[in-house]
Amino acid sequence: MPAPASDAPAASRFKCGLRRNGSMTGMLLKVLPRKLRLRLREKQLVRDAAARNEGFSCRALAGESDYNICINSDLTVSCNCQDFDGSGQIGSLKSQSLAEIFAGPIANGFRKTLAARSFPTPTCASCADLRIVPVEEATRGLTSYRVPYKGIMVENTVLCNLRCRMCNRKELLQLRSQQVTMPLADVEKVALLLKEHQVQSLLFFNLGEPFLPPDVDKQLQVIRKHNPDIRIVTSSNGQLLDESRKIEAALMTDYIYVSLDGATQDAVSRYQVGADFDRGYRNIRNLVSERDSLGSKTPIVEWKYVVFRWNDRPDQIRKAIELAREAKVDVIGFYRGDGPLGDRSLRWYYHSIFKTLGDRVPGGIVVNLNNIPQHLLAP
Ligand code: SF4
Ligand code: SF4
């Protein structure tokens, strides 16, 4: 499951923050609609860079990102995981290799635009991989890059079983109209590419529900066959994890986020339209239990709770933590929800519960219920 919605669902943990600040301007920017926020932030960043006589560079286009290069379901490749309108597409594996895409005219154009202190796509303004660097370093970035090896995101499908508010399903389906789900042959092609470049980490999700394809178990088998040691991180809405093939697939991963934005049906269905709280919770619990019965420590299971105005009361947060403990999940993570102003949680900014709950991570707070070592928490 992904998170088009935003800064909300899954991607919140993966997105960004160039010099986030706690200033009043920073706080105000956070509560504006996404498009406006990106525009204002772009202006601010360009101004900052100009004042310092510096340029921009991109860690993802240098091949050094932990996750941000995304292979989409139609084999197009986006430079970032929030590419909701396709403006971040830099090529396609249908006709190019990853090395060709990285050395190709679009990627090079992006690098040049950044070095010239401008943005090739609006997403740059909120991207974790954007850097303000001395001009010499920005210029060096034009020729100094490599194919990514730390982590790559793979969207096996853009289809989803839910209709979350803010998740623009229609636009996403149009964007991927050539191929909404990867056939197994394409998954194998991607698996071989991961092997060729010795990629260390696979983020197996993007803008759809990864456990929706009936052959997701075969997809993960083929990835594992070619990449036995790769770290696989996935993110699901959890609703489908009660079919044996889907559970088997989930058990092949190393880390799984299961999104359930509340501790009751009422709270969950306000954002995750079509979700069933009892089913999601039961599936989280059963997944942990299946894993434990195999004597395995993976996948590490994180209950992902996106905080909005309607699910941010201290009693709701405490109830979710209590249920997470009962289900023996390893971690429960609370992430700031995005969307219209009226949907945002104000308590997130001022209430003491969010200041003392757990450890801060990008976009959220995690409560580590099973003493999972810090280095295994973040993908
Ligand atoms: S959105 Fe911009 S900064 Fe982020 S990966 Fe793409 S080009 Fe780089
Ligand atoms: S509708 Fe599906 S893809 Fe969109 S945010 Fe919800 S679970 Fe994720």
Q: Which-ligand-closest: CA of 145? A: 1
pLDDT confidence of 379, banded at 50, 70, 90?
low
Q: Is residue 15 part of a domain?
A: no
- Out of 9-18, 75-84, 246-255, 301-310, least confident range: 9-18
Determine the pLDDT at residue 13.
45
Measured from the CA of 5, which atom of ligand 2 is nearest?
Answer: 5
Does 1 sit in the ligand 2 pocket, CB within 6 Å?
A: yes
Does 261 sit in the ligand 2 pocket, CB within 6 Å?
A: no
Query: CA angle, 263 as apex, 269 and 331 as ends, to 5°?
Result: 120
Residues 130 and 161 in one domain: no
Mean pLDDT of 191-205: 98
Does 237 sit in the ligand 2 pocket, CB within 6 Å?
A: yes
pLDDT confidence of 36, banded at 50, 70, 90?
confident
Q: How does pLDDT run across 110-154, given as a tens digit for each residue?
A: 999 999 999 999 999 999 999 999 999 999 989 999 999 999 999
Would the pLDDT of 20 be above 50? Answer: no
With pLDDT > 70 as the criterion, what percentage of the chain qualifies? 91
Rounded to whole angstroms, the Cα distance separating 327 from 285 reads 5
Judge whether 3 and 364 are in contact, CB under 8 Å.
no
The residue segments making up the domain with residue 239 are 151-377
Residues 210 and 119 in one domain: no
Which residues on neighbouring strands pair with residue 151, listed in sequence order? 201
DSSP 255: E
Measured from the CA of 68, which atom of ligand 1 is nearest?
Answer: 5
pLDDT confidence of 377, banded at 50, 70, 90?
confident
Residue 224 makes CB contacts below 8 A (sequence gap 6+) with: 230, 232, 252
Residue with CA nearest ligand 1 atom 1: 124
Residues 194 and 123 in one domain: no
Q: Which-ligand-closest: CA of 169? A: 2
Residues 205 and 128 in one domain: no
Nearest to 234 by CA among 211, 214, 205, 201: 205
Q: Is residue 22 part of a domain?
A: no
CA of 184 to the centre of ligand 1 (A): 29
CA atoms 240, 241, 242, 247: torsion sign: positive
Residue 73 φ/ψ, nearest 5 degrees: -60, -25
CA of 272 to the centre of ligand 2 (A): 7
Residues 327 and 224 in one domain: yes
Residues 85 and 198 in one domain: no
Residues 229 and 115 in one domain: no
Q: Which-ligand-closest: CA of 4? A: 2
Q: Which-ligand-closest: CA of 63? A: 1
Q: What is the CATH number of the domain that holds 332?
A: 3.20.20.70
Residues 159 and 134 in one domain: no
Would the pLDDT of 320 be above 70? Answer: yes
Domain count, the chain: 2
Average pLDDT of the chain, as a whole number = 91
Global ipTM: 0.97
pLDDT confidence of 339, banded at 50, 70, 90?
confident
Q: Is residue 13 part of a domain?
A: no
Q: How does pLDDT run across 44-100, given as a tens digit for each residue?
A: 999 999 999 999 999 999 999 998 999 999 999 999 999 999 999 999 999 999 999
User: CB burial class (10 A; 0-12, 13-18, 19+) of residue 44?
Assistant: middle
Mean pLDDT of 333-344: 90
Tokens standing for residue 73: 């379901």
Q: Is residue 244 part of a domain?
A: yes
Determine the pLDDT at residue 33.
73
Determine the pLDDT at residue 166.
87
DSSP 357: S
Would the pLDDT of 357 be above 50? Answer: yes
Half-sphere exposure of residue 289: CA atoms within 13 angstroms, side-chain side: 12
Residues 303 and 342 in one domain: yes
Mean pLDDT of 156-161: 98
Determine the pLDDT at residue 11.
39
CA of 204 to the centre of ligand 2 (A): 14
Determine the pLDDT at residue 3.
41
Mean pLDDT of 272-298: 98
Residue 195 makes CB contacts below 8 A (sequence gap 6+) with: 226, 227
Select from 140, 174, 192 the last residue of a domain. Answer: 140
Rounded to whole angstroms, the Cα distance separating 148 from 66 reads 8
Determine the pLDDT at residue 162.
97
Does 163 sit in the ligand 2 pocket, CB within 6 Å?
A: yes
Q: Is residue 2 part of a domain?
A: no
Give the SS3 label for residue 291: helix
